[in-house]
Structure 1
């Protein structure tokens, strides 16, 4: 089990313009750490307007795969930056942003004398999933280009095990304030627009989400611990609900009259995520799925529905 090693650190946070990076940065500053935040494609934007001014925060803009001019010395890296497989994103772009950038960042971390490296990976590394429960032992089977780029990133991080301890976090959909690019956020958008919500395999157990608040607390905890070598863990919510119940909680929380339509899809993945190892070895402490969904609705429904209302008016 990892041991406690609390001290103030200089932490390099990548992807600081995105949901995970922005929250990690704020959590680390609140814990008393110095942060150098790297913002790439995402501008600092309005979400930074609520960020308290701090003499412990430095901001860098640029391409991690280029000559960014990172600090000469830092103690830890929280690497959240990634190119997602959005429409029009090529395999070459995924490779540049997710593989080359990680390779350059690892080289910089070694030169800087870093002592921890936390890598935000994805359940997409597994590719085709046929098991009922995903954990660290689940077989990797032909991941698509994005998942393959994150898998290669994990391998690059693992190859540096002799330089610094590292932990890859294999993540499902991340939810939180203004979160996007996950199933629950798409359900909310459909409900706010009054559209039909399609739910496949409605009775399948569901805990396939992580709230960014839980993730932030976990990152802060990790940087106050000591462990050896390179490791990877899967993360999900605590307890279980069903896919249908998760959708219903979001739709009911939004209000309105969106209809939920269910359909069986025999070929679709049906799995939950085990966080047992992350809890036992590293003290991961996620919310239960019910309260997590309630918080997600409370912090997003009004804003999402207002934004959709403006676009459709």
Structure 2
């Protein structure tokens, strides 16, 4: 018996695969490699290259590998780009999730952990987001993730699907030098690429209503995130009752300036970030409570900001050297 990790060749999915192995659990990866990397999949883990939109392929993979549950990470994850590509975003994230759920029903698989997003909240009007904070997505990406949660809920009503969804904000760091964040939009890789190329990193806005004037966000280490995905899978296997949604949040957050300071401190590259104008729509502060996940999903912040930076820097430099 094994678990299928859709998107398991991506940054987050590849860490989930490793977290399963650390618990002595087997997994199989399905990924179309549109943003994932074949080299991110550990040796010995079965790999199927294909799209989650191919329902027949998903169902065949579930049957062939005696899959007992799915961690559904695959998706189009660029919130900003989704505004320009709404149909593509809905196709990948909504139609894709329908395809996975249909394949699961066809193959008799009734357990799923869904990789959702804090983008479902939009711009909340509270200092600390909880699972009770109203959802108000502001991009096709956020909307598509919320619809994914609804699909799980409705399939549970219709067919007894056992499920939970995990929402998270800014995922950073590396749990292994073999896997790193390759997103062209995330803060950590943008800063690290700039430093590797001898450019000066930039801050967008330093006049926000925060202690140092820069935006405060939740930054969580990808390896910590992966542990909680596996804890959710194990809880579903054990028949434990889970909440429909969990936030994997830090509870306090870090400012962009604090991230920049840590980058200089840890990498040894002395720089003063360039300050540019605000980006439209960036709220002052978005931080989530992880209390429910700490109770049920072995969630905790095991890494400091310096740990996050050091692991991301080490993994990216290893890839750069290679």
Specify if TM > 0.5.
Answer: yes
- Counterparts of 1:1-313 in structure 2 under 5 Å? 9-40=1-32, 41-42=34-35, 44-48=37-41, 51-53=42-44, 57-66=45-54, 67-68=56-57, 69-72=60-63, 73-85=66-78, 87=81, 90-162=85-157, 163-177=160-174, 178-179=180-181, 180=183, 181-192=185-196, 193-198=198-203, 200=205, 201=208, 202-203=212-213, 206=216, 208-225=218-235, 226-228=239-241, 231-237=244-250, 240-261=253-274, 268-269=282-283, 270-300=285-315, 302-303=317-318
User: Could you tell me how far 1:239 is from its partner in structure 2?
Assistant: 5.3
Q: Cα deviations across residues 229-276 of structure 1 (Å, max 9, x unaligned)?
A: 661111123655443222210133233342124579696311212111
CA distance in 1 between counterparts of 2:221 and 2:149 reads 22
Give 3-state SS (helix, strand or coil) of 1:184's partner: helix
Identify if the C-alpha distance between structure 1 residues 174 and 142 changes in structure 2 by more than 3 Å, giving closer, same or farther. closer
Measured at CA, do residues 133 and 302 of structure 1 come closer, stay the same or move farther in structure 2, by a change above 3 Å?
same
> How far apart, CA to CA, are the structure 2 residues paired with 1:220 and 1:174?
16
- List gaps (5 residues or longer) in structure 2: 175-179
User: 1:42 Cα shift?
Assistant: 4.3
Change (3 A) 1:252 1:291: closer
TM-score if structure 1 supplies the norm length?
0.82
Tell me the CA shift for residue 170 of structure 1: 0.7
Aligned partners of 2:36, 2:253: CA distance in 1, in Å?
Answer: 36
Aligned residues: 294
Say which structure is richer in helix: 2
Residue of structure 1 equivalent to 2:177: none
Q: What runs of 5+ residues in structure 1 fail to find an aligned partner?
A: 1-8, 308-313
Matched residues in 2 for 1:150 and 1:168: separation?
10
Q: Deviations over 1:167-190 (max 9, x none)?
A: 111111222332134223222233
1:311 corresponds to which residue? none
Alignment partners' CA distance in 1, 2:151 and 2:62: 21
> 1:132, CA displacement in angstroms?
1.3
CA contact (8 A) 1:121 1:168 kept: yes
